[in-house]
Structure 1
């Protein structure tokens, strides 16, 4: 089996194995998919596994920015991992995932994330469960009444020409709110999404919304706002369809302010999908991540990463003034906290040391070290985009 970069001539074969593995795309869906992936081909972002000349599997690495405590990191979003049905059980998926990790490193991504169809495959490659993709369902009428007529928030329709402004806005909001986990597409991808006539897109000075009709109700893909006034204006815009739509489903931060704005909230209707996360370049990821400004720690760590030896070894983590870095130390540190790369990735994403210790992903160290690590990395990681 050979793994190599795919070219445009391979896309029909990719669509064929995708259809056999997951069901067919509609005609328009296939056209959109081609527009999405074609610019990635010359960048070496689509990997194919071949048995001779026959394509037996494929995996794509999407170019994203992901925020961690308000600071952006280059993230490789692994998606479209597909193996033809007759080639399952041959290790194709495992080989593709390992190749995707290495390609993420070559592309300069400090971290990687994915939505797993199966956990064991990705866990063996160093990914671990990290955050949530949460959907809430609320009555449309409850949103309609959130608006404040006196706030005078200006909203305008948004289209492909607004992609650059939208990317900048997303960065400002995630930085200001010290968000952990959400991502942003690049401009060319946003231009493609903003061309969809089925979506209704509105932009404010410090927020935006993308929503659509779905079986007589409303589905919100994205709604992000920096201020209370803009959040109320955008949610009430969505809720203004309440004479027709009875409910609104929305993908939101589990701590989205709208849940505290609703007049009546006694029971949440929530569905969660988990995503997995992996550190690709440990020093770059720590240096690029944000940390709480009031936390100052120094802690020895021993990390084991069988696939990426550059991450393996004894490190000293130092965090101070909102920034952090790790330096490599020679030899073993007797009192160090010891983590698998999956455990280190989960810790980076805010999973508590108590959870990691009981799951067997963290050993050694001390209660004091655990508290310090929790103070540095603690967060509730989330995404509002599926890929």
Structure 2
């Protein structure tokens, strides 16, 4: 689509998600302009009328600490009068084809409903974990050494991205994403956010009613982890609770003095492998995983193909094979890639056939996928 289509896109968004405020409207337009220029905003038209739209966000995503490009599907909207006519399926097929053509090997989305995305190869893989903590409990966390923290703004986007690369590589993270530099610069303009940067970490948080909302807090060292959480907890004289997006095994959960009951909500996201060979090559793996496996992937958009997977030294490769091994739908392979155990995949019908490779596949693709960001 082109800038001339944006008024029609906003009309669709209003009918699907409700109206945007004037300030959010302006921010949204600034955010989507680069995707228009890159051919990452697609529309389905009935004559000259826009019937559906979907956007491909340009992300970096980490898998076992290794970054790769990822197509984040967002803003999937279908006009009320066009629902039930197959328009949603048609626009999503175009999204998958476009993402593949742009060179993305993997894709993710937060679903409003599961069936349409599952029918096109997406499968549930991970979650955004939001935990509610007493603000006072964070105030007791203290760094054991000095940590220099400063406020950050739009000009710090590149440094922030560099921090994310170091943190997720060191933690061997699976699932978290980073926006591109232009988008980070835009988000860092938000006057309602509190933005702090350290040499090896950062935090983005804000007031939400009478509580604090932590959008993102990452750190590579114990002292910076403690310093940033203590900074958030310094609002405990006013804020009662802190609602934070965290990893399922985030260190803050072990730094709390008292931990007996936690309120955790999950926003589930779905994942799809678009290009088997590229996705396997770009992913990171446990260094001790030295094994191989034969898999056959059945993809409704790409057909049925068999692959020999080989893993060694933290890297992997997929080469075409003649023999059929483990049989997976592309949904099943996508879930396997995200660390869902082979036993689970077999029990729910996403995997069948030869069982001799199950242990090797579980070892190679082991992961606890999560995201800190919604999109």
- How large is the Cα RMSD of the aligned pairs? 0.8
- Aligned counterpart, 1:381: 369
Q: Which residue of 2 aligns with 1:142?
A: 137
Task: Give the aligned partner of residue 370 of structure 1.
Answer: 358
User: For 1:351, what is the secondary structure of its paired residue?
Assistant: coil
Give how far 1:168 is off.
Answer: 1.0
Q: Deviations over 1:155-187 (max 9, x none)?
A: 000000000111111011111110000000000
1: CA distance, partners of 2:172 / 2:241: 30
Q: Deviations over 1:198-242 (max 9, x none)?
A: 001000000000000010110000000111100100000000000
State the distance in 1 between where 2:29 and 2:142 align: 40
1:306 aligns with 2:300: yes
> How many Å separate the matches in 2 of 1:220 and 1:21?
27
Secondary structure, in 3 states, of the residue corresponding to 2:250?
coil
Q: Provide the C-alpha distance between the structure 1 equivalents of 2:115 and 2:315, rounded to a whole number of angstroms.
A: 33
TM-score (norm: length of structure 2)? 0.99
Distance in 1 separating the partners of 2:284 and 2:37:
32
Alpha-carbon distance in structure 2 between the residues aligned to 1:213 and 1:314: 51
Q: Is residue 295 from structure 1 mapped to residue 284 from structure 2 by the alignment?
A: no
Aligned equivalents of 1:365 and 1:33: distance in 2?
A: 49
Corresponding residue SS for 1:18: helix
Residue number among 116, 119, 125 corresponding to 1:124 in the alignment: 119
Cα distance between partner residues in 2 of 1:329 and 1:21: 45
Question: Which residue is equivalent to 2:98?
Answer: 103
1:3 is matched with none
Q: Which residue of 1 aligns with 2:247?
A: 253
Instruction: Give the equivalent residue in structure 1 for 2:110.
Output: 115
In structure 2, the residue matched to 1:159 is 153
Please, which of 255, 260, 267 is the counterpart of residue 261 of structure 2? 267
In structure 1, the partner of 2:32 is 37
SS of 1:266 mapped into structure 2: coil
Query: Counterpart of 1:316?
Result: 308
Q: What is the CA–CA distance in structure 2 between the aligned matches of 1:63 and 1:140, rounded to whole Å?
A: 34
Q: Distance in 1 between matches of 2:4 and 2:70?
A: 27
Q: Does 1:221 align with 2:215?
A: yes
Describe the SS at the equivalent of 1:220.
Answer: strand
Does 2:274 correspond to 1:286?
Answer: no
User: 1:3-30: per-residue Cα shift (whole Å, max 9, x none)?
Assistant: xxx1001000000111011110111111
Task: Tell me by how many angstroms 1:377 deviates.
Answer: 0.4
Partner of 1:211: 205
Partner secondary structure for residue 383 of structure 1 = coil
Secondary structure of the corresponding residue to residue 101 of structure 1? helix
2:8 corresponds to 1:19: no
Counterpart selection for 2:321 from 310, 325, 329: 329
**TM superposition outliers: structure 1 runs of 4+ over 3 Å:** none
Secondary structure of 1:39's counterpart equals helix
Structure 1 residue aligned with 2:327? 338
Over residues 7-56 of structure 1, what are the superposed CA-to-partner deviations in whole Å (9 max), with x where a residue is unaligned?
Answer: 00100000011101111011111111001001111110000010000001
CA distance in 2, matches of 1:248, 1:193: 21
Task: Tell me, in whole angstroms, the C-alpha distance in 2 between the residues paired with 1:268 and 1:141.
Answer: 14
Give the one of 346, 349, 353 matched to 2:342.
Answer: 353
Question: What TM-score does the superposition give when structure 1 sets the normalisation length?
Answer: 0.96
**Residues in 2 aligned to 1:286 and 1:254: alpha-carbon distance in whole angstroms:** 24
Shift of 1:70: 0.5
Cα distance in 1, alignment partners of residues 24 and 123 from structure 2:
30
Matched, 1:63 2:58: yes
Q: Secondary structure at the match of 2:357?
A: helix
Tell me the SS of whatever aligns to 1:276: strand
Gaps of 5+ in 1: 1-5
